[in-house]
Copies of this chain bind each other. A is one copy, B any other.
Amino acid sequence: MTDPLTAQRPRPRKRPQQARSLATVEAIVEAAARILEAVGHGGFSTNAVAERAGVSVGSLYQYFPRKEALVGALIVREKNRLIEDARAAASRPAGTDALVAVIEACVGHQLRRPALARLLDFEEARLPFDAEIHRSAAALNTLVSGLLERPDLPRQPDTPTAAADLLAIIKGMIDAAGERGETGEVPLVDRVRRAVLGYLGAGA
């Protein structure tokens, strides 16, 4: 046993230094994603992930100190992809346009891998506190908060709460649609837009 304060063993970001190790890490994370969305939490074992990734368990544990860290890395990867899209969407000049574009980004993201997205949303709430994950979540909230203060959108009494509510509405509606098997982006975006603008008090 090493010093429990400083130790924590090699975390993934502990720089895989050669090209092949980077490929290994990516393969492991993607294998985790595939297994999670195929069979859910049951059957999601480190042995299964390693096999699917074509590496050994030993290699897996070189980059992820425990199973949870693997899920954490997956959450961060997916959330960062979403944030990237959302940031691009938010750059539109008009506030309403930007907001709708962010909705489109969320719908697109969640509809691309519905089972995975829904499962990771849940894991994010369940997993023990993780700094990097919280940072990602906060980034999305901050982005929406910024949008809400654009002059052409109705001012909200409590911007951060409103931003959190909007994200909850968006996530809730998309998850439910995904469960129902909905696959068409357009009508879903329409309905989410109605809900969001309705919440804000802006006429459609």
> Which A residues contact B (CB, under 8 angstroms)?
40-41, 118, 122, 125-126, 161, 164-165, 167-173, 175-177, 179-180, 191, 194-195, 197-201, 204
Contacts and interface: CB of A to CB of B under 8 A. Distances in A.
A199 B197 CA distance: 8
- The 9 residue pairs across chains A and B that have the minimum distance between CB atoms: A172-B172, A198-B198, A168-B176, A195-B199, A168-B172, A168-B173, A198-B199, A122-B122, A169-B169
Contacts of A164: 176, 180
Most buried by B among A168, A177, A191, A195: A168
A108 B148 CA distance: 29
B165 A173 contact: yes
B199 A194 contact: yes
A184 to B, nearest CB: 12
A157 to B, nearest CB: 10
